[in-house]
């Protein structure tokens, strides 16, 4: 591939990724707002849900790529909303564990159902094989992005 062709391809990929990212972020933020959540709060709730157990604050910060101070603020708001509980480790008072409440699980179920509905509404416009290819390529891109992020993070 020649330099000019590669430059044009990279510009097109950048434009499309930014467009998809921007539109999806706006739609997702709007959907979450209906449940009284922000995107960072959702990411933390999802991390706890996927672990299916209590999570330490440091684990949550690492998994969501947030600093500990930011994580504390997010969890503070989630506690006030009744979506998570927080408790100190009885063996090490410096460690704090966060766990979903029943309300937190219910909120995540509602959000998940909304997301599935939205994705169906969008993917209905793609042929099944195109949707499969999109999934394959997004998975590859995300893995490459994560590897690069880990290499760039001290």
Phi/psi at 94 (5° precision):
-75, -25
Positions of the chain with pLDDT lower than 70, given as ranges: 1, 153-154
In whole angstroms, what is the distance from residue 143 CA to residue 138 CA?
Answer: 9
Q: Which residues contact residue 100 at a Cβ distance below 8 angstroms, ignoring those fewer than 6 apart? A: 45, 48, 49, 83, 84, 108
Instruction: Give the pLDDT confidence of 8-37 residue by residue, as tens digits.
Output: 999 999 999 999 999 999 999 999 999 999
What per-residue confidence (pLDDT) applies to 92? 81
pLDDT at 153: 67
Q: Which one is the CATH code of 38-101: 3.40.50.300, 1.10.357.10, 3.40.50.1100, 1.10.10.10?
A: 1.10.10.10
CA distance 56 to 53: 10
* 78 contacts 55 by C-beta, under 8 angstroms: no
Structure tokens at 95: 């460690």
Of all helices (H) and strands (E), which one includes residue 81?
Answer: none
Look at residue 154 in the predicted model and tell me its pLDDT.
63
- What are the residue boundaries of the structural domains of the chain, listed by start? 1-33, 38-101
């Amino acid at each position: 591939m020649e330099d000019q062709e590669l430059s044009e391809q990279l510009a097109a990929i950048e434009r499309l990724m930014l467009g998809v990212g921007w539109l999806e972020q706006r739609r997702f933020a709007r959907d979450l707002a209906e449940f009284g959540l922000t995107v960072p709060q959702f990411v933390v709730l999802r991390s706890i849900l996927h672990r299916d157990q209590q999570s330490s604050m440091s684990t949550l910060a690492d998994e969501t790529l947030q600093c500990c101070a930011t994580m504390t603020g997010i969890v503070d708001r989630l506690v006030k909303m009744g979506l998570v509980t927080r408790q100190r480790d009885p063996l090490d008072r410096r460690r704090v564990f966060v766990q979903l409440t029943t309300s937190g699980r219910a909120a995540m179920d509602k959000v998940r159902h909304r997301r599935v509905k939205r994705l169906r509404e969008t993917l209905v416009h793609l042929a099944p094989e195109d949707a499969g290819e999109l999934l394959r390529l997004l998975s590859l891109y995300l893995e490459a992005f994560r590897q690069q992020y880990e290499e760039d993070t001290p």
